[in-house]
Amino acid sequence: MKNARMRMLILCLAGTGLIALVLFLAAGTVRYWQAWVYLAVNGIAAVPYVRYLLDNPRLLEARMKAGPTAEQRSVQKGITLLGFISIVVAFIVPGLDDRFGWSNVPPWLVVTGDLLIVAGMLMVYRVVKENPFGAATVGVVEDQRVVSTGPYGVVRNPMYASALVYLIGMPLALGSYWTLIPSAITVLGLVWRLLDEENFLAQNLPGYTEYCTRVRWHLVPLIF
């Protein structure tokens, strides 16, 4: 358990450091105030989520098994790899945008983006509290059941809905309209992933088909 917690903390710190490195290298300077604010807001907003995982060993292990190599099915390996590439690009573009002055995002919109970052992270925290089977990979584990309460009573994929809010906020928080393009590509990847995941769960998780008849919306209520 201590090793899992330590790995989680190291991954969080290493991930933040890597994102900072990519942003500032692409910008060619550390005088990129939107990036500093984003890193601070993101780090603080992630605290409830990280603390909850550290207190729940089973969920911690499930969330740490992520990425293309952790997926069991080829289609999800491909989707995850493409998603990883698009999110890396989404951190390179804002740095380049800051360096070359492609966008002129007003401070109030930057703050709005930071608020969406906070909202997205709090939504993630709410989702993992509701779903003890919330793995980072697509699959079904022993004794898994359908979760239909809380955010799962609103949309079928609230974790991806959280990511949607985050991916809208991130380009604005980093002061880059152009970053909306790789963010949009990442969202399309999420839609592909969730549709495949729903099909998989309908075939392999008892009660999931009935759940889908009760909860109509995949990602955004009244829209999709």
What's the burial of 3, exposed, middle or buried (CB within 10 Å: 0-12/13-18/19+)?
exposed
Residues of the chain with pLDDT under 50: none
Which whole-number Å values give the CA distances from 163 to 122, 125, 188, 205, in the listed order?
11, 12, 12, 24
How far apart CA 113 and CA 119 sit, in angstroms, is 10
Q: Which CATH number is associated with domain 2-214?
A: 1.20.120.1630
> What is the pLDDT, as a whole number, of residue 136?
85
pTM of structure: 0.94
How far apart CA 108 and CA 65 sit, in angstroms, is 37
> What is the pLDDT, as a whole number, of residue 1?
52
The per-residue pLDDT for range 18-69, each reduced to its tens digit, is 999 999 999 999 999 999 999 999 999 999 999 999 988 888 888 888 888 8
> What is the pLDDT, as a whole number, of residue 156?
97
Task: Provide the token pair at 199.
Answer: 């099909």
How far apart CA 162 and CA 23 sit, in angstroms, is 23
For the chain, what are the domain ranges?
A: 2-214
> What is the pLDDT, as a whole number, of residue 151?
96
> What is the pLDDT, as a whole number, of residue 32?
97
> What is the pLDDT, as a whole number, of residue 14?
93
